[in-house]
Structure 1
Amino acid sequence: MTTTTNSRYVTRQPDILSGEPIIKGTRTPVRAIVENWRLGIRPEEIPLHLSHLTLQG
């Protein structure tokens, strides 16, 4: 299994979502967070919609 880490919190794994960027340690695509943000959801509120995530600083 090849893993390429793009940042501290984002990674890609070919066997998870066909290599789409995900939040490290989850199967949550970064796309899901961006879509929430584009809908006008504030970053502090995103964990309310994706309850398995926490707001990290």
Structure 2
Amino acid sequence: MATMTLDQHIEITPGVAGGKPRIAGHRITVQNIVIWCDRLGLSPDEIAEEYNISLADVHAALAYYFDHREEIDDSIAESEAFAESLKKTTSSKLARILGSRSVDE
């Protein structure tokens, strides 16, 4: 059995997951791992269990992040800016439904 190295845990494939670095064989990006860990407070063990990936995959993603921190942080910021622009230009179906109801209902 071959020993996996960091470059075997993380891959970048044009056209898959937006060409972002991801866990090999999965569509889970390094960016996802960072957000789940840093922003949502999930532990590497919780991430591995929840998403059916190895603990080594999670740590490889975090190692990749620390080696490419500016690139990943910029990607996260771009994704957040895109989401905010969508919120401003796309009306909420729930808001439309609630807005059409009268107070007496």
Compute the TM-score of the two structures, normalised by the length of structure 1: 0.70
Gaps of 5+ in 2: 1-5, 60-105
Q: Which runs of 4+ in 1 moved over 3 A?
A: none
Q: How many residues align?
A: 51
Residue in 1 that maps onto 2:15: 15
Between structure 1 and structure 2, the one with the greater Rg is: 2
Compute the TM-score of the two structures, normalised by the length of structure 2: 0.42
1:45 paired with 2:50, answer no
Gaps of 5+ in 1: 1-5
Q: Percent identity at matched positions? A: 29
Q: CA RMSD in A?
A: 2.0
Alignment of 1:23-38 (within 5 A): 23-38=23-38
Tell me the distance in 1 between the aligned counterparts of 2:18 and 2:33: 18
Which structure has more relative contact order (CA 8 Å, sep 6+)? It is 2
What secondary structure, in the 3-state scheme, does the structure 1 residue paired with 2:48 have? Answer: helix
Tell me the distance in 2 between the aligned counterparts of 1:42 and 1:18: 25
| Higher-helix-fraction structure | 2
